[in-house]
């Protein structure tokens, strides 16, 4: 992403490219090849789904590792450690794919995810192996989110597919990610609670799924012609001048809360509820994860219809739900009742789903074709910092005695501050 003086309006227009943007090397895009079809995007969507499955299958098993003797803070750090793989892959993979093509960067991703799942499958008694597995799953997910999302968006447009409504690629990407997160967590939780080899079988299934996705992905057509450039890679991470204000005041305040919502709903709350659901804590954790992500998935198609380009309708709705969810989490963490926990998961899941679509639509509209992957990378890199919340809150609770109700109240106030920032960018 190189700096530009293009206005926000011009960038919005550029984010809905005609077939001319994809007609040849002059525009940095490849023409449709013999393997392309109107369904070529499905192989990329399926691969994103499989990688997201692997990225989130660890989450409902948090309570299993804690129950089996690993310290709470260690397990929460394992949850966060895959961010150490996600962020570099996002920040480097996105710009590299803008330069060298989507296929080169994305095709290794499902293989990396399979390797990560295998390490998790056979490293249940080794924290270093679990850490390595989480980092590899993070690398794969980072590539899927930055490179895969851009590739999917481009394959959803002419000449690779018939003309579709603006934002179709962003919606497909968001739904592939959220669907994979939810299904992976649900299957892993059920197998770990009632299936054989609870700390192994869930990961083996994902490894096989990712290998199958790698074969399917091999037939997806390239959409980006490799570029000859002497520019520094770091320059590709700069936000275009014309998009800077909207990016800073709308996209980033949304990004900050996306996975903070998820981490609150299905990492923190099930841990606090363990004494209340001691009969099936892993299954309960999986249930809360599925509810959170199921609501996030279901609301995305509705969010797309509610969106009005150039307004802040969708971002405001997302932040309002996040504020309400954090406030309810403050109440729930004190009361620790089943129905309040489910209600918290629903509201935070809705906030996550709407926020994800809102953020990706903002990125799609403000990006030019040559900086779409880079801007997407920055957006996701910021959003994944939210997975550090469980570890930080656990350390604060153990080290200072600050209660979870007080911490969630502070988070609700902070989210309200982000809503105030978004309100300053009512139009344009």
Summarised one tens digit per residue, pLDDT across range 363-373 is 888 877 666 76
Measure the CA–CA gap between 183 and 197, rounded to whole angstroms.
19
Measure the CA–CA gap between 195 and 218, rounded to whole angstroms.
33
Measure the CA–CA gap between 382 and 327, rounded to whole angstroms.
23
| H helices, E strands: number in the chain | 19, 0
The average pLDDT across 3-20 equals 30
Summarised one tens digit per residue, pLDDT across range 343-400 is 999 999 999 999 999 998 888 888 776 667 667 778 888 998 999 999 999 999 988 8
Summarised one tens digit per residue, pLDDT across range 141-200 is 999 988 998 898 888 877 776 666 667 787 888 889 888 988 999 999 999 999 999 999
pTM, entire model: 0.79
Residue for token digits 């990125």? 363
In order of 10, 148, 158, 365, 412, the CA distances from 17 in angstroms are 12, 18, 9, 10, 38
R_g over Cα of the chain: 21
- The model's confidence at residue 217, banded by pLDDT at 50, 70 and 90, is very high
pLDDT the model gives residue 279: 84
pLDDT the model gives residue 9: 28
pLDDT the model gives residue 358: 92
Q: At what angle do helices 281-306 and 252-263 cross, to 10 degrees?
A: 150
Check: CB of residue 83 under 8 Å from CB of residue 260.
no
pLDDT the model gives residue 286: 92
Measure the CA–CA gap between 40 and 76, rounded to whole angstroms.
38
The average pLDDT across 49-58 equals 94
Q: At what angle do helices 404-423 and 313-335 cross, to 10 degrees?
A: 170
Of 233, 220, 81, nearest to 148 by C-alpha is: 220
In the beta sheet, which residues pair with residue 224? 29
């Amino acid at each position: 992403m190189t700096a530009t003086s293009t206005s926000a309006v011009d960038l919005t227009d550029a984010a809905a490219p005609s077939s001319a943007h994809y007609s040849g090397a002059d525009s940095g895009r490849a023409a449709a090849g013999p393997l392309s079809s109107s369904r070529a995007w499905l192989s990329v969507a399926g691969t994103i789904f499989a990688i997201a499955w692997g990225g989130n299958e660890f989450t409902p098993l948090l309570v299993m590792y804690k129950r089996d003797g690993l310290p709470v803070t260690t397990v929460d750090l394992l949850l966060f450690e895959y961010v150490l793989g996600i962020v570099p892959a996002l920040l480097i993979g996105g710009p590299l794919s803008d330069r060298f093509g989507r296929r080169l960067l994305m095709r290794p991703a499902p293989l990396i995810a399979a390797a990560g799942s295998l390490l998790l499958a056979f490293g249940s008694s080794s924290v270093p192996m679990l850490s390595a597995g989480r980092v590899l799953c993070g690398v794969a997910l980072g590539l899927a989110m930055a490179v895969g999302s851009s590739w999917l968006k481009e394959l959803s447009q002419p000449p690779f597919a018939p003309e579709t409504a603006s934002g179709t690629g962003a919606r497909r990407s968001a739904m592939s990610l959220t669907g994979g997160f939810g299904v992976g967590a649900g299957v892993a939780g059920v197998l770990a609670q009632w299936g054989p080899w609870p700390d192994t079988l869930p990961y083996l299934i994902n490894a096989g799924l990712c290998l199958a996705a790698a074969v399917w992905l091999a037939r997806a057509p390239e959409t980006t012609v490799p570029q000859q450039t002497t520019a520094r890679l770091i320059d590709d991470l700069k936000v275009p001048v014309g998009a800077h204000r909207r990016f800073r005041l709308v996209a980033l305040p949304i990004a900050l809360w996306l996975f903070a919502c998820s981490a609150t709903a299905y990492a923190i709350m099930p841990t606090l509820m363990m004494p209340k659901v001691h009969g099936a804590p892993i299954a309960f954790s999986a249930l809360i994860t599925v509810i959170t992500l199921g609501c996030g998935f279901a609301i995305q198609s509705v969010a797309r219809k509610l969106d009005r380009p150039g307004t802040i309708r969708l971002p405001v709705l997302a932040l309002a739900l996040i504020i309400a969810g954090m406030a309810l989490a403050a109440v729930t963490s004190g009361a620790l009742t089943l129905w309040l926990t489910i209600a918290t998961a629903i509201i935070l899941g809705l906030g996550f789903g709407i926020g994800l679509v809102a953020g990706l639509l903002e990125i799609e509209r403000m990006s030019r074709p040559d900086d779409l992957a880079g801007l997407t990378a920055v957006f996701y890199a910021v959003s994944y910092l939210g997975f550090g919340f469980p570890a930080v809150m656990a350390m604060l609770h153990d080290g200072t005695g600050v209660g979870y109700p007080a911490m969630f109240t502070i988070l609700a106030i902070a989210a309200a501050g982000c809503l105030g920032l978004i309100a300053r960018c009512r139009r344009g």
